[in-house]
Amino acid sequence: MKASIGVAYKLFTDWPRSGKRTGRLFVSIGVAFFAISLYDSYMATLIATILFGLIITYFALQNTENISLNFLNYTIPSIPTYFVIMGSLLIGLLFSWIVSLVNGIFTSFTMHGKDSKIKNINKEKSELTKRIQELEIENAKLETKLNDRTVSV
């Protein structure tokens, strides 16, 4: 947090030397708020992680009974209940991460396709703008010729 205030102070003290006073002021205030909010975000994540860990610890202490886990032809005897529940949670999180990763890959391919379409459209737009300028020049030349003919008649 001290570093963010230092950055904001440096930007704030530099702005009188530049010609853009209000822009620098708003940038410095924005940098300070961004840095403070980033710090608060990390701190909130740390607190949430500690609380989540405490909840898992309490849950594990309450569910220490041993059970037998059967999966297909395999049997795991005497495993604590919280291992089964936490294992299921971790497998679910892993599965959702894989699904999210695949979705992100498809989204990036879609965005790349749209970016190439935008580039093509912008290229076509610039070509049409050039053609319009050429036609305007040609139109001006033809009007000049027409005006010369009407003046001479």
Q: What is the pLDDT of residues 57-95, one digit of tens each?
A: 888 788 778 888 888 888 888 888 888 888 888 899 899
- Residue position matching structure tokens 């992100």: 104
Of 11 and 152, the structure prediction assigns the larger pLDDT to 152
* Domain span at 1: 1-62
Residue 109 lies in a domain: no
Residue 51 lies in a domain: yes
Task: List CB contacts of 21: < 8 A, sequence separation 6 or more.
Answer: 15
Q: Are 107 and 122 in contact (CB under 8 A)?
A: no
Q: Is it the case that residue 113 has pLDDT exceeding 60?
A: yes
Length of the chain: 153
Number of domains into which the chain is organized: 1
Residue 14 lies in a domain: yes
Question: Average pLDDT, whole number, for the chain?
Answer: 78
SS3 63: coil
In this prediction the pTM is: 0.46
Q: What local confidence, expressed as pLDDT, does residue 146 receive?
A: 85
| DSSP state for residue 18 in the 8-state scheme | S
Q: What local confidence, expressed as pLDDT, does residue 7 receive?
A: 46
Q: Are 5 and 32 in contact (CB under 8 A)?
A: yes
114-126 mean pLDDT: 91
29-33, 47-51, 120-124: which has the minimum mean pLDDT? 29-33
Report the b/e string of 31-48 with b at 16+ CB within 10 A: bbeebeeeeeeeeeeeee
Residue 36 lies in a domain: yes
| DSSP state for residue 15 in the 8-state scheme | G
Banded model confidence at residue 102, pLDDT cuts 50, 70, 90: very high
Residue 33 lies in a domain: yes
Give the alpha-carbon dihedral of 24, 26, 30, 31, to 10 degrees.
Answer: 10
Q: What local confidence, expressed as pLDDT, does residue 53 receive?
A: 85
| DSSP state for residue 19 in the 8-state scheme | S
Residue 96 lies in a domain: no
